[in-house]
C-alpha cells in the first residue's frame, strides 16, 4: 500500500512538473512610423459554358499595397495610411476595357483608415477621391465604379488582411471562426464562415513563425436588385465552394503576418436573362491567392 501511494505521488509530481502545451498570443503589433508592403498574387482559371459554347479564361493579378502607421491610440486602435503602389495584370485572357481602366486608375490611390483594437475598420477615408479620379463628372461612369468597386468592398478587402486572429491566447488545435460577406459586384455576393485552427510553431525558410490553417465554407447569394450595368441580369444561381483551404504564417514576436496561401474551387451555375431570353451559365473556377508582407518594396516582376 505504501509503495502504491509513493508511485501515485511520483506520477502526480511528474504530471505537475511536465510542461503544458504552451499558449501563444497572436496579435498585430503596429509601431508608429513603420511602413510595410503587402504583395497579393492571384491566379484565376475559369471555365464557363453558355448554350454549349465553352470559354476558358486564365488571368494573373499582382498588386502591391503599402501601409504606414500614422498613429496608435490609447484605446488600442491604430491609424494607417494605405497606398496602392502597383497593379500588374497578366495571363492568357485580357480584362475588359472598363475593368482595366478602373484597375489602372487605382494605382497611386491613398486611403486613411482606423482599425479598432479587434482589427475592425471604424473609419475609411479616400474612397470619394478614388471615385472622382476614375469617373470624373460622368454619372454613368460613377455608377459603374460604385457598383464594381464599392466602398464596402474596399473596406472588407482591407479588413480581411488584419482581422483573422483570435482574441485570446491559443494552444495547438484551438479553432475560432469569422463570418464573411464578400461582394461580387453586379452578380451578387458570397457569405459564409472562415474557420481558423492554430497548428503550432514552425519555420518559414529559417524564420520562426506560427502556422494557422484556414477553411472556408461559403455560399452564393444573387444580387438583391438589378444593377443595370451588365448586358444580362442574374435571376438566380447556385455556386458552391467545393474546397477553400489555406495556411497563414504569423510572426508573433514581430506581431505581423509573414505569408499566406489559399486555394479555392468554385463550381455551379447562374440563371441569366438578356433581352427577354433566359439561359444558364455554368461555371468552374480555380483560384489561388498568395500574400506576403515585407519591409521593403517587392521586386517588380
Q: Does 16 score more than 60 pLDDT? A: no
How much of the chain exceeds pLDDT 70, in percent? 83
Averaged pLDDT, 119-141: 86
Tell me the pLDDT band of 8, cut-offs 50, 70 and 90: very low
Q: Does 4 score more than 70 pLDDT? A: no
Query: Which pLDDT score, from 0 to 100, does residue 228 have?
Result: 55
Kindly report the average pLDDT of the chain as a whole number: 83
Averaged pLDDT, 104-121: 90
Q: Does 17 score more than 50 pLDDT? A: no
Query: Which pLDDT score, from 0 to 100, does residue 272 have?
Result: 79
How much of the chain exceeds pLDDT 90, in percent? 42
CB 275 within 8 A of CB 267: no
Task: Tell me the range of 120-134, 232-246, 262-276 where mean pLDDT is highest.
Answer: 120-134
Task: Tell me the range of 11-20, 203-212, 226-235, 273-282 where mean pLDDT is highest.
Answer: 203-212
**How many residues does the structure list for the chain?**
301
Query: Which pLDDT score, from 0 to 100, does residue 265 have?
Result: 87
Averaged pLDDT, 59-81: 94
Q: Does 2 score more than 60 pLDDT? A: no
Domain annotation for the chain: domains and CATH numbers? 32-50+58-165+172-294 (2.30.230)
Nearest-angstrom CA–CA distance, 26 and 42: 26
Lowest mean pLDDT among 205-214, 247-256, 263-272, 285-294: 263-272
Nearest-angstrom CA–CA distance, 67 and 297: 11
Q: Does 276 score more than 70 pLDDT? A: yes
Q: Does 5 score more than 60 pLDDT? A: no
State pTM to two decimals: 0.83
Amino acid at each position: 500500500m505504501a509503495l502504491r501511494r509513493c508511485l501515485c505521488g511520483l506520477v502526480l509530481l511528474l504530471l505537475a512538473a511536465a510542461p503544458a502545451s504552451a499558449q501563444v498570443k497572436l496579435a498585430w503589433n503596429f509601431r508608429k512610423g513603420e511602413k510595410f508592403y503587402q504583395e497579393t498574387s492571384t491566379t484565376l482559371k475559369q471555365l464557363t459554358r453558355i448554350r454549349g459554347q465553352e470559354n476558358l479564361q486564365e488571368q494573373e493579378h499582382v498588386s502591391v499595397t503599402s501601409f504606414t502607421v500614422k498613429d496608435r491610440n490609447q484605446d488600442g486602435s491604430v491609424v494607417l495610411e494605405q497606398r496602392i503602389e502597383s497593379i500588374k495584370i497578366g495571363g492568357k485572357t485580357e480584362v475588359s476595357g472598363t475593368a482595366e481602366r478602373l484597375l489602372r486608375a487605382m494605382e497611386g490611390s491613398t486611403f486613411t483608415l482606423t482599425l479598432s483594437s479587434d482589427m475592425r475598420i471604424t473609419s475609411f477615408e479616400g474612397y470619394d477621391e478614388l471615385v472622382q479620379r476614375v469617373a470624373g463628372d460622368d454619372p454613368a461612369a460613377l455608377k459603374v465604379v460604385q457598383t464594381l468597386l464599392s466602398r464596402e468592398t474596399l473596406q472588407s478587402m482591407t479588413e480581411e488582411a488584419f482581422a483573422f486572429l483570435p482574441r485570446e491566447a491559443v494552444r495547438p488545435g484551438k479553432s475560432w471562426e469569422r463570418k464573411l460577406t464578400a461582394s461580387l459586384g453586379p452578380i451578387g455576393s458570397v457569405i459564409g464562415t472562415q474557420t481558423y485552427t492554430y497548428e503550432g510553431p514552425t519555420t518559414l525558410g529559417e524564420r520562426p513563425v506560427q502556422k494557422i490553417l484556414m477553411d472556408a465554407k461559403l455560399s452564393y447569394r444573387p444580387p438583391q436588385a438589378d444593377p443595370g450595368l451588365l448586358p444580362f441580369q442574374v435571376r438566380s444561381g447556385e455556386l458552391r465552394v467545393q474546397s477553400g483551404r489555406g495556411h497563414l504564417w504569423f510572426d508573433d514576436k514581430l506581431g505581423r503576418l509573414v505569408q499566406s496561401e489559399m486555394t479555392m474551387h468554385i463550381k455551379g451555375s447562374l440563371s441569366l436573362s438578356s433581352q427577354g431570353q433566359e439561359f444558364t451559365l455554368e461555371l468552374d473556377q480555380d483560384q489561388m491567392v498568395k500574400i506576403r508582407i515585407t519591409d521593403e518594396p517587392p521586386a517588380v516582376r
